[in-house]
């Protein structure tokens, strides 16, 4: 995977031309360090998980920074949050110097709190997720998008097992006082089994013998470290009672497959989780495309208590929307489009959407021609997931 250029590189360069500091967040092993080292081959580099680096900085922060020639890469900076205060004073002294400090972190909530408090207006903030199918054709539901898995797919099972162990020891323990790591591992397996479902904290709490607030805290940890993707419900003024809880997905489909014990393509196609895994894969690809283009994350689902449900709603420019229904079938049928038809009809009668253009697409597994697109019913097309990612996702 050495020659793969990450799509977000363009946005990093653009940010570096305008800001003194660039903060690159994202899950552990998503490729943040590799990207910055490739972009800045002569930059000084420090890993703030290294005890020696932490000790040197803690004993004499100003002296430590005085020895550094910019540009500099500070990796996993969430472990030493006080560094932001010292960088702020140096940035304020020479505010016109751009591309000085490149900071990475894999714990987004803790990192962003310090960025907001100390670096507001001084740092550009970008998020790098594992690789998308647009970046590498090797990305799939089974393998996911972590670069090291794509580089050595035969060792995927071992890699994911090691990743989870490292994640539990480094990220989970450092974020919260989680004493029972074995229970947290079971919690991750339970979350994977609810992939694609609306979050039910009470159900998870009962299964683990925990309190609902405790489950909420653990879900926050998974979200802060990029392990899960929460898709919020879309609200409008249709006057119906709507579901208010988010839908939950393991952010990387390869990790989800591992947690569910799925190791081969044959097992995946026979799995009762195939539909949910395919749906989560498309959700992640939409979010990756948005973030890689420097846009904010905007992905919603629709479900009301009368039974109307549409998998995804993607806001577009100019107040327009795209409705996306995801089916693991290779044979798209007109009945599959009915939820989108019903929602489009409801929106057509709602003044809120009077000037909005509504695009609707059914994304499915490929037939013989993976880039084929067909009219399913009036105003709704059926496309393979490859076609959708390559041509329509933005």
Distance CA 21, CA 25 (A): 13
Is residue 367 in some structural domain?
yes
Is residue 363 in some structural domain?
yes
Q: Are residues 74 and 55 in the same domain?
A: yes
Indicate the residue among 76, 104, 127 that finishes a domain.
127
Q: Are residues 347 and 388 in the same domain?
A: yes
Q: Are 149 and 160 in contact (CB under 8 A)?
A: yes
Alpha carbon 260 to chain centroid, angstroms: 19
Q: Write out the E strands in 163-226.
A: 197-198
Distance CA 275, CA 277 (A): 6
Non-local (6+) Cβ contacts of 136 within 8 A are: 1, 4, 145, 150
Tens digits of residue pLDDT in 160-213: 999 999 888 888 877 766 778 889 999 999 999 999 999 999 999 999 999 999
Is residue 233 in some structural domain?
yes
Q: Are residues 204 and 315 in the same domain?
A: no
Residue 8's alpha-carbon distances to 23, 152, 299, 382, in angstroms, are 13, 23, 19, 29
Strand order in the sheet with 21-25: 44-47, 72-75, 101-105, 21-25, 123-127
Write down the pLDDT at residue 111: 66
Distance CA 156, CA 144 (A): 10
Is residue 297 in some structural domain?
no
Range of the domain at 319: 308-394
Q: Are residues 31 and 102 in the same domain?
A: yes
Write down the pLDDT at residue 259: 97
Tens digits of residue pLDDT in 39-95: 999 999 999 999 999 999 999 999 999 999 999 999 999 888 889 989 999 999 998
Q: Are residues 158 and 233 in the same domain?
A: yes
Q: Write out the E strands in 234-308.
A: 247-250, 300-303
Domain count of the chain?
Answer: 3
Q: Are residues 357 and 372 in the same domain?
A: yes
Distance CA 150, CA 159 (A): 11
273: helix, strand or coil? coil
Non-local (6+) Cβ contacts of 295 within 8 A are: none
Q: Are residues 278 and 355 in the same domain?
A: no
Q: Are residues 118 and 175 in the same domain?
A: no
Q: Are residues 163 and 106 in the same domain?
A: no
Low-confidence residues of the chain, pLDDT below 50? none
Write down the pLDDT at residue 291: 97
Average predicted confidence (pLDDT) for the chain: 91
Q: Are residues 45 and 92 in the same domain?
A: yes
pTM for the predicted model, two decimal places: 0.94
149: helix, strand or coil? helix
Q: Are residues 269 and 336 in the same domain?
A: no
Tokens linked to 242: 């709507």
């Amino acid at each position: 995977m050495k020659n793969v250029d990450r799509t977000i590189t363009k946005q990093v360069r653009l940010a570096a031309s305008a800001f003194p500091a660039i903060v690159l967040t994202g899950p552990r092993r998503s490729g943040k360090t590799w990207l910055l080292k490739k972009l800045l081959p002569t930059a000084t580099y420090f890993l703030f998980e290294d005890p020696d680096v932490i000790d040197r900085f803690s004993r004499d922060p100003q002296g430590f920074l005085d020895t550094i020639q910019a540009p500099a890469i500070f990796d996993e900076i969430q472990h030493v949050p006080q560094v932001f205060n010292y960088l702020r004073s140096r940035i304020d002294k020479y505010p016109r110097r751009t591309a000085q400090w490149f900071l990475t972190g894999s714990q987004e909530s803790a990192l962003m709190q310090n960025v907001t408090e100390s670096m507001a207006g001084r740092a550009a903030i970008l998020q790098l997720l594992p690789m998308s199918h647009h970046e590498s054709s090797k990305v799939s539901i089974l393998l996911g998008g972590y670069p090291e898995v794509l580089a050595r797919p035969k060792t995927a099972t071992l890699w994911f097992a090691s990743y989870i162990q490292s994640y539990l020891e480094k990220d989970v323990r450092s974020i919260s006082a989680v004493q029972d790591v074995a229970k947290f591992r079971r919690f991750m397996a339970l979350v994977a089994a609810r992939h694609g479902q609306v979050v039910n904290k009470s159900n998870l709490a009962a299964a683990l013998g925990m309190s609902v607030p405790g489950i909420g805290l653990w879900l926050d940890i998974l979200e802060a470290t990029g392990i899960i993707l929460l898709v919020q419900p879309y609200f409008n003024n249709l006057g119906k009672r709507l579901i208010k809880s988010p839908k939950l997905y393991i952010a990387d489909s390869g990790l989800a497959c591992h947690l569910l014990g799925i190791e081969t393509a044959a097992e995946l196609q026979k799995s009762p989780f195939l539909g949910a895994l395919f749906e989560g894969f498309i959700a992640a690809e939409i979010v990756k495309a948005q973030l890689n283009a420097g846009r904010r994350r905007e992905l919603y689902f629709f479900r009301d208590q009368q039974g109307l449900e549409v998998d995804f709603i993607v806001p577009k420019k100019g107040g327009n929307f795209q409705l996306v229904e995801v089916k693991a079938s290779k044979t798209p049928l007109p009945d599959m489009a009915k939820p989108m038809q019903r929602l489009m009809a409801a929106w057509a009668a709602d003044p809120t959407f009077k000037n909005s253009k509504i695009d609707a697409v059914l994304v499915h597994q490929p037939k013989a021609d993976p880039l084929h697109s067909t009219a399913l019913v009036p105003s709704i097309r059926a496309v393979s997931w490859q076609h959708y990612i390559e041509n329509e996702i933005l």
